[in-house]
Amino acid sequence: MSYLVLARKWRPKNFTDTVGQTHVLRALSNALEAGRLHHAYLFAGTRGVGKTTIARILAKCLNCEMGPTANPCGSCSACREIDEGRFIDLIEVDAASNTKVDDTRELLDNVQYAPARGRFKVYLIDEVHMLSNSSFNALLKTLEEPPPHVKFLLATTDPHKLPVTVLSRCLQFNLKRLSVQLISGRMQHILDAEKVAFEPAALKLLAQAADGSLRDGLSLLDQLIAFGGGKVDTEAARAMLGSIDREHVANIGRALAAGEMAGVLAAARQLEEFSPDYAAVLNDLASLLQQVALLQVVPGTEVADDFDPELIAAIAGDLDAEDVQLYYQIAIMGRRDLALAPNPRAGFEMTLIRMLAFRPATGASTAAPPVAAPVAQRGAPKPSATTRARAASAQVPAADSNWPEILAALDLSGAARQLAANCALVGRRENVVALSIDPRHAAMATPAQRERLIEALGKYFGSPVKVEWREDAPNIETPARAREREEADRLVEARRSLEGDPTVQALQQRFGATLHPETVRPAKR
């Protein structure tokens, strides 16, 4: 007897055995039990999610000798013949092979005649979107005024290509892609029944590779059984799929979190001996980053078991959320651009280099590198002597108190703190405080914000104070101005340091990389 592939051998024969698509099965079951039967049904969804299978089961429900029923008996002549593909009143058509209008007219010529054996004459048209416009016009007339004994079951992977006139005359059901858990669970059920030994991790790899399609998953399972000599183990699955142990991806994630360019490239080059599919590796890395981002947004949430939860938690603590989003975006864009690279490995390495080389300093944590790894490896550039001198002079603003220290201790936020940062302390005697406002920001000194600052100063000094406001010093040294100058100096030094770094120069020479100085930012302190 010839071998029957698993996808055909284990095709569900009733709604109870069908995996997933609960929303569709429930609607069909309720309609069958209530006798509210439509004349045309459209099943839409990607490949291998059950469109044709559900349509055949529905045909069985309609023609079962015990029906119409949501639970066909499976033993009457109609049920058996539908299962065997020889029921005369179930007419299956592949629209991809019969696109011409003449084919459609020939198909519909017998619509007017009563079914030969069953209760209904059922037309199952697969990939219906492949019909020509003339064919749709021919079909439309029958859909508008169908005989009571006819049911149309249409299946398509692309419902957007159907004319709206056809869509409006059908009950449309959108089938979902199946989850990894559902696919691997179905595989386990089949292998238990087939008495084939397996490792759960291998089934998970196959289910992930199936990309939402149970049929594709079962085809891969058939292939793996043959590849592994009758066994389904993880090592054979990785070899067949060209995938790698996710610990290698975890090592790349650890190196990214540490900001170690050398470590990232070393982890990437360890993959060479496995001849990996670099697009799949980037996909796994993006999956890791997605789980890290999820944990950062919703602390304590349960993440998938693709990676060690402790690893995900550690990376989530080491990286800023902005960096995670950047790395994720670069990973998925790098996967798209692999075909344009000189070779997949070079494209993969450049994607990883890009992650650290263009990391924004504004999103860096204390443990993370600045814009580029070379700066991170040497530490952030220190302020110049001029900058330190200016900052020191700013911290002694011609008074008996240190205004920056007072500002840091004030119970202020928002606009009131910005107002204080753009003032300088001219002097203080008893309960009178003299403040000079930077003329560029005088508009900030609204009555409400002045009152908030006065109240905060009273709390700081321990008794109510009065404030003398002055606006006659155009070049006063305020904390805000001191900070602006220091940031400008640090930015100049960061750009100069990056331009002269040997690693950056090597990247420019070897890969033709271009440094955009305007994108460089100094490390966050």
Domain boundaries, the chain: 6-174, 180-241, 246-369, 398-476
| Distance between first and last Cα of the chain | 74
Angle at 266 between CA 283 and CA 253, to 5 degrees: 40
H-state helical runs in 338-384: 344-357, 373-378
Distance CA 96, CA 505 (A): 56
Residue 463 φ/ψ, nearest 5 degrees: -160, 155
Instruction: Specify burial of residue 214 (Cβ count, 10 A radius: 0-12, 13-18, 19+).
Output: buried
Per-residue pLDDT at 487: 85
Let me know if domain 180-241 sits in CATH 1.10.8.60. yes
Identify the CA nearest to 289 among candidates 231, 329, 344. 329
β-pairing verdict for 150-156 and 40-44? parallel
Do the domains 180-241 and 246-369 sit in the same CATH topology, yes or no?
A: no
What pLDDT digit, counting tens, does each position of 268-283 carry? 888 887 778 888 889 8
Per-residue pLDDT at 99: 65
Let me know if domain 6-174 sits in CATH 3.40.50.300. yes
Residue 233 has pLDDT above 50, yes or no: yes
What is the identity of the amino acid at 515? L
Residue 146 has pLDDT above 50, yes or no: yes
| pLDDT tier for residue 42 given thresholds of 50, 70 and 90 | very high
What pLDDT digit, counting tens, does each position of 301-314 carry? 776 666 778 888 88
What does the pLDDT average to over 41-63? 94
* Neighbouring residues of 105: CB distance < 8 A, sequence distance ≥ 6: 138
What pLDDT digit, counting tens, does each position of 458-517 carry? 988 888 999 988 876 667 788 888 888 888 888 888 888 888 888 777 777 777 777 777
What does the pLDDT average to over 334-341? 88
The residue assigned the tokens 């010839």 is 2
Residue 365 has pLDDT above 50, yes or no: no
Inter-residue contact 151 to 120 (CB < 8 Å): yes
Q: Which fold has domain 246-369?
A: Zinc Finger, Delta Prime; domain 3 (1.20.272)
Per-residue pLDDT at 401: 56
Distance CA 480, CA 424 (A): 10
Per-residue pLDDT at 123: 93
What is the identity of the amino acid at 203? L
| pTM for this predicted structure | 0.60
Question: Using the 8-state DSSP alphabet, how is residue 124 labeled?
Answer: E
Inter-residue contact 467 to 410 (CB < 8 Å): no
Residue 393 has pLDDT above 60, yes or no: no
Inter-residue contact 53 to 11 (CB < 8 Å): yes
The CATH classification number of 398-476 equals: 3.30.300.150
